[in-house]
Structure 1
Amino acid sequence: MKKSVNKTITIRDIALSCQVSPSTVSNILSGKRQVNSAAGKKVLAYAEKIGYQKIHQQRFKKAIHLILFRKHKLILCDTPVFSALVTALDNCCKAQGYALSLSYIDALTLGEKATQKTISQIISDPTTPILLLATEMSEQDFHLFENAKAPIMVIGNLLPKVPFNIIDTDNFEAGRIAVQHLIDKGHTHIGIISSSVPFDSAKKRKQGALYALQEHDFPIKAEDILYLSPFAEETSDNMTQVIQNRKEQFPTAFFAINDYLALGAMHALIQHGFSIPKDISLIGMDNMPFDCLVSPKLSTIEAPIEETARQAVLRLIALTQETEQYIMKSYMGVKLVERDSVLDLNTCK
């Protein structure tokens, strides 16, 4: 007779069963979101049915608090990359014997005073170390966390003057590698597709792309840097407007600072008769799962999400055990994922 295998139920399992995102499940189970929707009630009912909360409380005596600081609601959203990061952090915390609770701080909705009050309440707890997802934060926003009683580990947005431990993707190198790949494929007229909402990672990716062009003495015209809406449903419409108003010839290739922008641009270009990559090549950033579901499959730059999560959790736990705390800021490397959306002009000569 086969022995029964006790499978550990994870947040991702509950998310799949309830057809919601892992971050939504984490938010509901941690009590950080009011449950007034059918989906929320379904998550709680399913968790109670399988005994998740009871098992969870018995297994973990310590906790780590994940804070998602939002100012635009455009960057931190339920994208596959975001969900993968939350899941990876949850798994890494559990592996170290910690439960992960999650809070959204929506500064845009709360307003300045309510945001300060909410953060003050969170950082007054000396027993729960904090992971701070800071993609949407400015240098000024970090001052709100300076009096934290527990250690803080920041994920994303590595700024030189911020007095916290930070781990971030090497976004400059991501932009440089992407454009260098286009250059290696024989492209000399290269454009950049960036976000109309300014944020640090987009800025650094664009800087890396410009550096690669300047390194090869390739000129970049202002009209070849496009700024499209980061809203998935608006990106294609924005690109359509660019196509309709464009008088100059398009570059033979574009680097888009994320895959959403690349795919939105691709959709609009194809709708207007352009062939990808024959007429225009595209490369993105993030390596989202649906990059392989489009035609042509999107070439992209990938950041190591699981390793970033692991390093962030391990560093935060180490900070709770150190008497003399020093600040460490580090970048995670990236890699090229080559698929079908970039034409090799060297073979066309």
Structure 2
Amino acid sequence: MRHEKRTIRIQHELPNGRSINRQTKRFTYSEVVAFTDNFERVLGEGGFGVVYHGSLNGTQPIAVKLLSQSSVQGYKEFKAEVELLLRVHHVNLVSLVGYCDEEGHLALIYEYAPNGDLKQHLSGERGGSPLKWSSRLKIVIETAQGLEYLHTGCKPPMVHRDVKTTNILLDEHFHAKLADFGLSRSFPILEVKLMCQQQLLVLLDILIPILETITSQPVIQQTRERSHIAAWVGYMLTKGDIENVVDPRLNREYEPTSVWKALEIAISCVNSSSEKRPNMSQVINELKECLTLENSRQGGRPDMGSKSSVELSMSFTTEVTPSAR
């Protein structure tokens, strides 16, 4: 592919005339090589290319996403991510420190998240004690806050379209930083007849991380009764089986009402009736109530044989299967 077709034309003015974040800087490729010690330490890899650890001015840790020369789809996602991150800023969205666009070398430089991603902690890959239920709730709430900003604070509004626990990074204080915006798309203000489709797209952004955080299960697993996590959770709940839904690494150390309520919130996001689906602000408030319930839990192990007072909406049938992320 010829270089001129891969060049990203950065808009230095937003549509409303406000300038972009002036702290975002364009770097040369030689600077990127120096930041990463010639790409010595790999943090991760995806369809776009490789992410490397680096250091800015020898003091500020950074993550450098380098686009593979052969990645055609990756370039489209790369360009979308540049365009989005240059115009948005939120405490729960990963910050763009700078970028490189030089002679076919394309790189994004982000703030570094020293505690990796949420998936690593759910799977035990990072070692240490499993994340407590209260910690998981806080991370999901912060993720939802970042999504709410994309949905309501951006003009035009944005849908992430690829939210999963591998895309939820954790800083030194375990605060959530939503990343990987390559599949993000803006959506216009739609006519009333299309509003329910827009609402469903918005809510699917938060559905997967809630279910992954509760279950610590992969989104797709062919050996389950239902391969997609949403359909599987719905199937298990119609049988009243919560013990085999919740991550066993939690060792039943949680307030059961809090977990049932979180499951209800997730289920309501794909309710067949658009009137019964919450907006993102309502999702956040409901999740905060789950956290309050968990924080008020007294000592002792909860009895998971007892049913929660929360009435789960069993309209969530096994036919409801959101597209794989």
- Bigger proportion of residues as helix: 1
TM-score (normalizing by structure 1)? 0.26
TM-score (normalizing by structure 2)? 0.27
Query: Larger C-alpha radius of gyration, 1 or 2?
Result: 1
